[in-house]
């Protein structure tokens, strides 16, 4: 269980898109395969065109390998001060140990997801420069990551057929956040992301509620379910929003249409679970869990 708690230094990346609990993230880092998540243009993004909400490390200056602090643990093999390059970061901003991150004790690096914030800061906010020339870009990462995470959640909500009646509001919120994310560094620094999240969360919860209609909608929001045995349980439409599911046994559970917004799934065993139409489950959450090969 030690491994599950010692990497909290990543809270530098800020609060999650729900209530007040905080995410734990490690950096996937340059060269890490990106999750298959993409805001797919016209249908979900209205008039904005396509906005990529997945990491494109090749277009980034390795921001997540520099900005955060690491606490030496079973997730990170070293201590690292904030705004200091990880010693494994190459001069080309690629991870030099990418192929053996887990073996070398950097499990935390495997599960980070910046939702495309890194390359947006590098390419758009700072016009292709790096933190070497513009160290202030490092402080923008937690802000932009939260904005992009919200955009990812809104994009997911827009995909839900049952949430059709809140779609205009979802689309407006998405456009607004995307616009804000395109601001100057000073404008980004001045943003009250918490207030934005407070405005968006009810919309997301409404969409989730609609999408889970017809199920028991069991409420595990914010629940402490660390190590909980739920093997084979009927959890259709359950809300695990912000729940701590660290090390939980969910093998063979029926999780269809369950809402996993911000749930901490580190070490949760999802083998054999039915994840059909599951809501707001990110690729990084899945990487943190135990899943079928
Ligand atoms: S080991 Fe260092 S360089 Fe590699 S992904 Fe992790 S933080 Fe980045
Ligand atoms: S900040 Fe994002 S895009 Fe940049 S290296 Fe990290 S994961 Fe990749």
Same domain for 143 and 273? Answer: no
SS3 264: strand
> Above 50 in pLDDT, residue 94?
yes
Atom of ligand 2 at shortest range from CA of 114: 2
Same domain for 180 and 149? Answer: yes
- Say what the pLDDT of residue 51 is: 82
Q: Let me know: does 221 contact 242? Beta carbons within 8 Å.
A: yes
> How far apart are the C-alpha atoms of 262 and 88, rounded to whole Å?
29
Same domain for 19 and 80? Answer: yes
Rounded mean pLDDT of 76-95?
A: 96
Phi and psi at 155, nearest 5°, equal -65, -40
The domain boundary residue, chosen from 158, 183, 211: 211
Domain that holds residue 66: 2-211
> Above 50 in pLDDT, residue 41?
no
> How far apart are the C-alpha atoms of 226 and 240, rounded to whole Å?
12
> Above 70 in pLDDT, residue 198?
yes
- Say what the pLDDT of residue 221 is: 97
**Substitution site in 96, 100, 109 for ligand 1 pocket (most atoms within 8 Å of beta carbon):** 109
- Say what the pLDDT of residue 111 is: 87
> How far apart are the C-alpha atoms of 166 and 185, rounded to whole Å?
32
- Say what the pLDDT of residue 3 is: 30
- Say what the pLDDT of residue 130 is: 97
- Say what the pLDDT of residue 112 is: 87
Same domain for 183 and 90? Answer: yes
The domain boundary residue, chosen from 211, 236, 263: 211
Is the pTM higher than 0.75? The answer reads yes
Residue nearest to atom 1 of ligand 2 (CA): 118
Q: Is the CB of 25 under 6 A from ligand 1?
A: no
> Above 80 in pLDDT, residue 254?
yes
Same domain for 75 and 198? Answer: yes
Nearest ligand, measured from the Cα of 283: 2
Same domain for 289 and 190? Answer: no
Centroid of ligand 1 to alpha carbon of 92 (angstroms): 13
Rounded mean pLDDT of 27-40?
A: 34
**Domain count within the chain:** 2
Rounded mean pLDDT of 132-142?
A: 97
- The string of pLDDT tens digits covering residues 142-196 is 999 999 999 999 999 999 999 999 999 999 999 999 999 999 999 999 999 999 9
Same domain for 150 and 225? Answer: no
What value does the mean pLDDT of the chain take?
85
More confidently predicted of 283 and 42: 283
Same domain for 9 and 106? Answer: yes
Centroid of ligand 1 to alpha carbon of 14 (angstroms): 19
Q: How many residues does the chain have?
A: 293
Centroid of ligand 1 to alpha carbon of 116 (angstroms): 17
The domain boundary residue, chosen from 211, 227, 247: 211
Same domain for 51 and 113? Answer: yes
Atom of ligand 1 at shortest range from CA of 108: 6
The top-scoring range by mean pLDDT among 48-62, 70-84, 218-232 is 218-232
- Say what the pLDDT of residue 63 is: 98
- The string of pLDDT tens digits covering residues 142-152 is 999 999 999 99
Rounded mean pLDDT of 122-138?
A: 97
Q: Is the CB of 57 under 6 A from ligand 1?
A: no
CATH classification of the domain holding 247: 2.160.20.80
Same domain for 207 and 243? Answer: no
**Cβ burial, residue 130 (10 Å; 0-12/13-18/19+):** middle
Same domain for 186 and 218? Answer: no
> Above 60 in pLDDT, residue 95?
yes
Nearest ligand, measured from the Cα of 131: 2
Same domain for 188 and 233? Answer: no
> Which of these, 155, 202, 209, lies nearest to 41 by C-alpha position?
155
């Amino acid at each position: 269980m030690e491994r599950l708690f010692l990497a909290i230094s990543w809270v530098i990346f800020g609060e999650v898109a729900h209530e007040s609990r905080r995410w734990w993230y490690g950096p996937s880092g340059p060269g890490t395969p990106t999750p298959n998540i993409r805001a797919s243009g016209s249908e979900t993004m209205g008039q904005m065109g396509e906005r990529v909400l997945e990491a494109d490390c090749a277009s980034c200056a390795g921001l997540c390998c520099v900005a955060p602090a690491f606490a030496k643990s079973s997730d990170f093999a070293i201590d690292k001060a904030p705004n200091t390059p990880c010693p494994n970061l190459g001069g080309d901003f690629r991870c030099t140990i990418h192929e053996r991150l887990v073996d070398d004790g950097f499990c935390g690096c495997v599960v980070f997801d910046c939702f495309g914030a890194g390359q947006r800061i590098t390419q758009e906010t700072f016009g292709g420069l790096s933190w070497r020339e513009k160290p202030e870009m490092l402080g923008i990462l937690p802000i932009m990551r939260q904005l992009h995470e919200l955009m990812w959640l809104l994009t997911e909500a827009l995909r839900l057929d049952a949430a059709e009646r809140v779609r205009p509001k979802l689309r407006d919120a998405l456009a607004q956040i995307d616009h804000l994310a395109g601001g100057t560094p000073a404008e980004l620094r001045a943003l009250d992301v918490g207030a934005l999240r407070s405005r968006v969360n009810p919309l997301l919860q409404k969409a989730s509620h609609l999408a889970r209609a017809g199920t028991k909608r069991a409420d595990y929001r914010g629940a402490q379910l660390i190590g909980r045995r739920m093997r084979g349980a009927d959890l259709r439409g359950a809300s695990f929003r912000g729940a701590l599911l660290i090390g939980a046994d969910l093998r063979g559970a029926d999780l269809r249409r369950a809402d996993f917004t911000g749930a901490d799934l580190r070490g949760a065993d999802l083998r054999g679970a039915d994840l059909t139409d599951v809501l707001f489950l990110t690729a990084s959450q899945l990487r943190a869990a135990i899943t079928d090969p």
